Amino acid sequence: MKRIEKKFAELKRKGEKALVAYITAGYPDLETTRALIPALERAGVDVLEVGVPFSDPTADGPVIQAASQAALKKGTTLPRVLDLIAGLRGTVEFPLVLFSYYNPIFSMGSATFARRAAAAGVDGVLVVDLPAEEAGELRVDTDPAGIDFISLVAPTTGGDRVRKVVKAASGFIYYISVTGVTGTRGPELEETRTNVGVIRTMTKLPVVVGFGVSTPEQARQIGSMADGVVVGSAFVKLIGEHAGRPDLIGDLGAYAASLKAALR
């Protein structure tokens, strides 16, 4: 059983929903990222999305865009992110999902990427701008390496395409709760409830919901209708506000713990 599957099975047995957190690697610097990842696991994060900074994001809102630009200026690259994960894998056990756009992976080469990611201990990859119809050129290497390909479903995704996307997915399904970019407005709860219900008739994979979730109450509401929530911009914003301060790890951990408590 792969690490992501094992984690969701464990949560189901405990009657809990997953807290999936996102941070931008290298923001404010790689040393801080190296310290934050174990702290987030200790605070109750179940799955961590590690964002590879990219210069031309299409799905990220202003908070994550700014973090990516800052991380790029500090020299954060895909190879350095993989090295970071490799160095941490012996000390953290929770699943790590690499959140990236396709250009950095394409530049490295899919075979090299899959080999290095698997060796580093990456459990899944979420490539925002690689649609299911074109994912084969990456999955030909990542699937044999045991790396789950996390698929996105949006409110605007038609029924036939939802069926196609979820059939090919692995790990979990990421449902986007709003149209637009990350961190700009709260989730559409009733639409989310309806669409998550439809997705669940098409797959046995866990369904998590992200975009716009930032408070324990929102997490509780989403947790009542899905298998987990994704919180990204709120974590990145908090990191930016506390960058360089000794209370960063403590405050980030406390925030993560408050979200996780709402999901138990």
Pair of tokens at residue 92? 């953290």
Burial class (CB within 10 angstroms; exposed 0-12, middle 13-18, buried 19+) of 231 = buried
- Residue 26 phi, psi (nearest 5): 85, 5
User: How many CA atoms within 13 Å lie on the side-chain side of 174?
Assistant: 25
Q: Cα separation of 117 and 111, whole Å?
A: 10
Q: Measuring CA to CA, which residue among 181, 81, 86 is closest to residue 129? A: 181
Catalytic residue among 41, 60, 123, 227: 60
Catalytic residue among 41, 49, 123, 141: 49
Active site residue 148: no
Pair of tokens at residue 236? 């990145």
Query: Which residues on neighbouring strands pair with residue 130, listed in sequence order?
Result: none
Annotate 187-221 with b (16+ C-beta within 10 A) or e (fewer).
Answer: bbeeebeebbeebbebbebbbbbbbbbbebebbbb
Active site residue 49: yes
Measure CA 244 to chain center.
24
Name the residues annotated as catalytic. 49, 60
